[in-house]
Amino acid sequence: MTDPRYTPLAQSLPATVPFVGPETQERQRGRPFSARLGANENVFGPSPRAIAAMQAATADIWMYGDPENHDLRAALALAHGTTPQNIVVGEGIDGLLGYLVRLLVGPGDTVVTSKGAYPTFNYHVSGFGGTLHEVPYVDDREDPASLFAKAAAVNAKLVYIANPDNPMGTWHKGAEIVAAMDALPDGCLLVLDEAYVECAPQGTAAPVDADDPRVIRMRTFSKVYGMAGARVGYGIAAPGLISAFNKVRNHFGMNRAAQAGALAALRDDDWLAHVRKEIAAARDRIARIARDNGLTPLPSATNFVAIDCGQDARFARAVLNQLIDRGLFVRMPFAAPQDRCIRISCGTASDLDALAKALPSALATARG
Amino acid sequence: MTDPRYTPLAQSLPATVPFVGPETQERQRGRPFSARLGANENVFGPSPRAIAAMQAATADIWMYGDPENHDLRAALALAHGTTPQNIVVGEGIDGLLGYLVRLLVGPGDTVVTSKGAYPTFNYHVSGFGGTLHEVPYVDDREDPASLFAKAAAVNAKLVYIANPDNPMGTWHKGAEIVAAMDALPDGCLLVLDEAYVECAPQGTAAPVDADDPRVIRMRTFSKVYGMAGARVGYGIAAPGLISAFNKVRNHFGMNRAAQAGALAALRDDDWLAHVRKEIAAARDRIARIARDNGLTPLPSATNFVAIDCGQDARFARAVLNQLIDRGLFVRMPFAAPQDRCIRISCGTASDLDALAKALPSALATARG
């Protein structure tokens, strides 16, 4: 009686998780967090219309969701001025990144990303046997020119850019990304993760032709739309690539209520404007709290703020742990030199009161 | 400017879907179905407590779900008399089958299933480059002895059995499956799909030791629990295999409301008993309608009935199309000789009134 015969690749992988969830930490701590500011969730929540749509759809949850995501793709196509054939809907950007990597990357294939960028993308690349090449941030921003040069040098099949960036919150103008794409090597696909773009300044979304075969843009309902727990992401790309997802995706994988919620959320521009305002105000307050404590907030186009703690990773880690001890769920960048920072998601006024209260003593203890 | 460089495997795959959804057919027809009897959904729906839990959780949908599925796994472990380390929760059995195949099957690896069994399993095997070997049904039942003998002959890494079976509705006693496993070749994992087992006769669930490394059992909230649109499935297996899923799964892939709904559904035994009764009554009525029309219903341990139309696939297909024309969404087996049947899911009294009304003229037209 022996164990299952895993593939050599599966055998080589660690059983890991890109992020430890706050619930896991709460179970380890033995008590809940008082403020949830670590996962870039949107505490301002989804449109009331989206909530109502999801609750109404619960009565129909005995039915599988539409595997074509027809209505949502039609609405997204309209919103983006393109066709449903340019849109793939999936179980969050995480799910779509997994499918995308699977379509392109096998053992020995090369992929380029920034050192310290989104670990779940790296998880998928490793998971399909790809080799990651990492390019450093420049001034805490991803560096498209260097990323594309590295992609050319290593013959990468895929290069990843998040704009705005996570975990730093920095950004490029969309037109700059498009201009930089002139140097994207032939046969290398750019995956442009725009998860946070709805709360970024005008002009951050890359003005890409949806039929451009060089790029797929990833969007989500998890951030500004406030539906992280629903799992709805989408990709915008040329029809050939969109159609390729049908070779590998979990066709009946979408939650039916989530489909309905996303559709309703997309139609509530007023709520989106409200959330944008709340996010902007919370960003300002986080920055103010940082400065009040002698720290340096980075400019942010996202729903979080990276705070430079002014010393090394060890110190930032100490500050982080002190905040966690004080009941605040927060995270920090994984790689140097960005790991001199901690990362605070936008919270309610009461969440940020708790941050303002905890930070001085957290810093004092970390220094002491 | 060239297309993305897909892997050779991805390039070789068709863009396909294991099942065409009813919504797609409705869009093609230009009008909705009046009875949804094709996807083995459970029209009797989830526990009212599960609906309430999902609706309540919608208010928290701005948060990601717990990636460890801690509470649900704990409750499932309790229900099955095992430990959470024996349980993996995923985006339906479909999602879990994908992860499982990915862990075990690469190009050239062999897998055994029954000819005409669950196509989504086959989709995953092909999708990871595996080679399928198919064993015929015997008397419209899957044949464990032949499946395991074939697995030995072709050195299979994985063998699939659904008990009760879909699309035929037939079943084996669980103890017979376990006894047959004596002939399961060393190093071949049995994936025992028990999606329908909660409405099968006592003794159908295989009395497997959860730590037995030879088998993983798949269960779901999509069928008797009435939550197909929520996407919650789970696997029960030895801790080593369960832990391997953490190498490849979409850790944050579960819908938060679905997690809450499944937990509440699991705790409502009364509702489960109610649904079992409704399913049994609907099965009897479908069988009666079949016999009233001179057709032969197969015995069923599921929430559907396969009806032998008494002629060949062409005739069964004609009957099916006539029912579809009359507004009934129904399906039929894919492979001979099971494709002499049509497959009718349990419906409400009104759904089955529609079937009783439509079948005589559908048959007449198919014969004519």
Query: How far apart are the two ends of chain A, measured CA to CA in Å?
Result: 56
Amino acid found at A349: A
Among all residues of chain A, which has the CA nearest to that of B186?
A: A1
Non-local CB neighbours of A68 within 8 Å, separated by 6+ positions: B21, B23, B24
User: What is the percent of chain A with per-residue pLDDT over 90, rounded to a whole number?
Assistant: 97
Q: pLDDT tens-digit profile of A208-224?
A: 999 999 999 999 999 99
For residue B177, the distance in angstroms to the closest alpha carbon of chain A comes to: 17
Instruction: Sort A294 into a burial class: Cβ within 10 Å, 0-12 / 13-18 / 19+.
Output: exposed
Q: Choose the weakest-confidence range: A39-43, B12-16, B28-32, B173-177.
A: B12-16
- Do A354 and A328 touch, CB atoms closer than 8 A? yes
Please state, in angstroms and rounded to a whole number, the distance separating the CA atoms of residues B18 and A251: 8
Question: Measured between alpha carbons, how far is B10 from B123 in angstroms, rounded to an integer?
Answer: 13
Which positions in chain B touch A158 (Cβ < 8 Å)?
4
B228 to A16: CB separation less than 8 angstroms, yes or no: no
What is the tens place of the pLDDT at every residue in A326-345?
999 999 999 999 999 999 99
Under 8 Å between Cβ of B241 and B213: yes
pLDDT of residue A328: 98
Q: What 3 state SS string does A128-176 have? A: CCCEEEEECCECCECCHHHHHHHHHHHCCCEEEEECCCCCCCCCCCHHH
For A142, residues 6+ apart whose C-beta sits below 8 A from its C-beta are A114, A117, A161, A162, A163, A165, A170, A172
In percent, the amount of chain B with pLDDT more than 90 equals: 97
Q: Is the dihedral of CA A247, A250, A256, A258 positive or negative?
A: negative
Residue B127 to chain A, least CA–CA distance (Å): 6
The whole-number average pLDDT for the span B325-350 is 97
pLDDT at A1: 60
Q: What residues are paired with A344 via a beta bridge?
A: A305
Number of A to B CB contacts under 8 A, please give it. Answer: 281
Residues of A in contact with B44 (CB under 8 A): 62
Check pLDDT > 80 for residue B1.
no
Alpha carbon distance B65, B255 (integer Å): 6
Q: What is the pLDDT of residue A15?
A: 79
Say what the pLDDT of residue B214 is: 97
Query: At A7, which amino acid appears?
Result: T
Nearest to B224 by CA among B46, B92, B38, B22: B46
Q: What is the pLDDT of residues B206-263, one digit of tens each?
A: 999 999 999 999 999 999 999 999 999 999 999 999 999 999 999 999 999 999 999 9
A32 to chain B, closest Cα gap in Å: 13
**B157: contact with A, CB 8 A cutoff:** yes
What pLDDT was estimated at residue A293? 98
Scanning A34-73 for CB atoms below 8 A from B yields 36, 39, 41-46, 51, 54-55, 57-68, 70
Residues recorded for chain B:
368
User: Mean pLDDT, chain B, as a whole number?
Assistant: 97
CB A184, CB A208: distance < 8 Å: no
> Which residues of chain B lie closer than 8 angstroms to A24, CB-CB?
66-68, 70
Buried b / exposed e across B274-293, counting CB within 10 Å, b at 16+? ebbebbeebbebbbebbeeb
**pLDDT surpasses 90 at B2:** no
Average pLDDT, chain A: 97
Q: What is the pLDDT of residues A297-325, one digit of tens each?
A: 999 999 999 999 999 999 999 999 999 99
How much is the ipTM here? 0.97
Question: Whole-angstrom Cα distance, residue A292 to residue A286?
Answer: 10
B3 alpha carbon, distance to own chain's centre: 36
Q: Give tens-digit pLDDT for A75-112.
A: 999 999 999 999 999 999 999 999 999 999 999 999 99
CB contact under 8 A, B61 and A14: no
Interface test with B, best of A36, A62, A72, A104 (most B CBs within 10 A): A62
Question: Tens digits of per-residue pLDDT, B90-143?
Answer: 999 999 999 999 999 999 999 999 999 999 999 999 999 999 999 999 999 999
CA distance A17 to chain B (A): 7
Taking 80 as the threshold, does the pLDDT of residue B18 lie above it?
no
**Are A54 and B59 in contact (CB < 8 Å)?**
no
* Average pLDDT score over residue span B145-161: 98
Judged by CB atoms within 8 Å, which residues 74-113 of A form the interface with B?
Answer: 91-92, 94-95, 98, 102-106, 109
Tell me which residue has tokens 């047959």. Answer: B180
Amino acid identity, residue B139? D
What structural domains does chain B harbor? 18-45+270-367 (3.90.1150.10), 48-267 (3.40.640.10)
Task: Assess contact for B336 and B43: CB atoms under 8 A.
Answer: no
Instruction: Return the pLDDT at A212.
Output: 97
Report pLDDT digits (tens) over A122-176: 999 999 999 999 999 999 999 999 999 999 999 999 999 999 999 999 999 999 9
Going by DSSP bridges, is the β-strand pair A87-90/A233-236 parallel, antiparallel, or unpaired?
antiparallel
User: Bigger pLDDT: B15 or B252?
Assistant: B252
Query: Residue A131 forms beta bridges with which residues?
Result: A110
Q: Give the residue with greater pLDDT, B290 vs A16.
A: B290
Contacts of A247 in chain B (CB under 8 A): 10, 13-16, 127
Average pLDDT, stretch B138-167? 98
